[in-house]
Amino acid sequence: MKTPLALTIAGSDSGGGAGIQADLKTFSALGVYGASVIAALTAQNTRGVTAIHDVPADFVVAQMDAVFSDLDVGAVKIGMLSQPAVIEAVAEGLSRHGQQRVVLDPVMVATSGDRLISEDAVAVLRDVLLPKAMVITPNLPEAAALLGAPVARTESEMKDQARRLCALGPQAVVVKGGHAAGAESVDILITQDAEVRLAANRIDTPNTHGTGCTLSSAIAAGLALGHDLSAAVSEAKVYLTEALAASDRLTIGHGAGPVHHFHKWWG
């Protein structure tokens, strides 16, 4: 029987709560083997990002080639890509290796507010990588930045921005409402022919470090397990909500703590 396997292409978080580390934890928690391509190193903890070291594009390519030439990758999650050359290299590698189940989390700003991507990389991300994605998962500020628009304030505006993003090339868009207010945390999934409202009770916790990474990698895990996109997104929303609700069982750092990826197994 084939082992389900997902690949994350993202930045490393030395504090362990986001990026590559959150992705691999999520894959493992959901029963999927995780492989990784590190596109950047960050000096980071729960309080913020103090330094970023970019991995050269040719070495990112070497990592991708090593993984795809040997491992049967069921889905790819893409996170922090901070430089235009790396974004272009990843897009070309996806095409060269025929990858279609691609989940793109257009990471631009850390939970702490620190910027993670250069200004000139945003346009390359939008023009070169978005069309390669099965689904993209921007939060409200990221959706606005990709469109050059104000941040959506209502569900109607979220739907409108999701449709506009879908027109840029991805097969589907999940606009995440975690930055909004209200008793519910509402995400909107838009595909070429469907619209799904995904709601959960908003969890009152400061431990939100790595939430975007966790959701997108959970979607990739679902795809690697053979689930269709709608099911993968819905199951990922449930997993993240439960991980947020259990986050106060962890005591990590002095800032925005991580979600509890292994809440089902740790006592």
Query: Over the stretch 125-140, which tens digit does the pLDDT of each residue have?
Result: 999 999 999 999 999 9
Are the beta carbons of 236 and 244 closer than 8 angstroms? Answer: no
> Taking 90 as the threshold, does the pLDDT of residue 6 lie above it?
yes
Catalytic residue among 15, 213, 214, 257: 213
Active site residue 15: no
Query: What's the predicted TM-score (pTM) here?
Result: 0.96
User: Cα-Cα-Cα-Cα dihedral of 241, 148, 85, 59, to 10°?
Assistant: -10
- Whether residue 116 contacts residue 82, with contact meaning beta carbons closer than 8 Å, is answered with yes
With a pLDDT cut of 70, the percent of the chain lying above it is: 95
Q: Write down the number of H helices and E strands in the chain.
A: 8, 9
Q: Is residue 115 very low, low, confident or very high in pLDDT (cuts 50, 70, 90)?
A: low
Contacts of 1 (CB under 8 A, 6+ apart): none
22 vs 13: CA distance, rounded Å? 8
Is 176 labeled as catalytic in the residue annotation? yes
The catalytically annotated residue of 15, 34, 212, 257 is 212
31 residue type, one letter: G
The CA-CA-CA angle for residues 57, 58, 64, to 5°, reads: 90
Q: Which residues does 193 contact at the CB level (< 8 Å), separation at least 6?
A: none
Q: What pLDDT does 159 receive? A: 95
pLDDT at 220: 98
Backbone angles phi, psi at 36, to 5 degrees: -145, 145
Identify the CA nearest to 126 among candidates 164, 99, 94, 95.
164
What DSSP assignment string belongs to 108-177? -B-TTS-B-S-HHHHHHIIIIIGGG-SEE--BHHHHHHHHT-PPP-SHHHHHHHHHHHHTTS-SEEEEB-
Distance between CA atoms of 124 and 96, rounded to whole angstroms? 18
| Active-site residue flag, 213 | yes
The mean predicted confidence, pLDDT, of the chain is 93
Higher per-residue pLDDT: 267 or 152: 152
Question: Is position 74 annotated as part of the catalytic site?
Answer: no
Is 159 annotated as catalytic?
A: no
**154: Cβ–Cβ under 8 A, 6 or more apart, which residues?**
none
> Percentage of residues in the chain with pLDDT exceeding 90?
85
What the block records as the tokens of 63 is: 């990592």
Q: Which one of 42, 46, 208, 241 is the catalytic residue? A: 208
Report pLDDT digits (tens) over 68-94: 999 999 999 999 998 999 999 999 999
From residue 154, give the alpha-carbon distance in Å to each of 110, 151, 164, 263, 267.
Answer: 23, 9, 15, 32, 39
* Per annotation, catalytic residue among 42, 176, 177, 237: 176
pLDDT at 179: 62
d(CA 211, CA 109): 12
Of 19, 210, 222, 257, which is the active-site residue?
210
pLDDT score of 107: 85
pLDDT over 70 at 113, yes or no: no
Average pLDDT (244-251) is: 96
Q: Which residues pair with 186 in a beta bridge?
A: 199
Question: What residues are paired with 54 via a beta bridge?
Answer: 40
All domains in the chain, ordered by first residue: 5-136+207-249 (3.40.1190.20)
Is residue 82 a contact partner of residue 117, using CB atoms and an 8 Å limit?
A: yes
- Of the residues 211, 214, 222, 237, only one is catalytic, namely 211
Residue 66 has pLDDT above 90, yes or no: yes
> Among the listed ranges 175-179, 184-188, 198-202, 239-243, which one has the minimum average pLDDT value?
175-179
Q: Is 2 tagged catalytic?
A: no
Given this model, what pLDDT does residue 114 score?
64
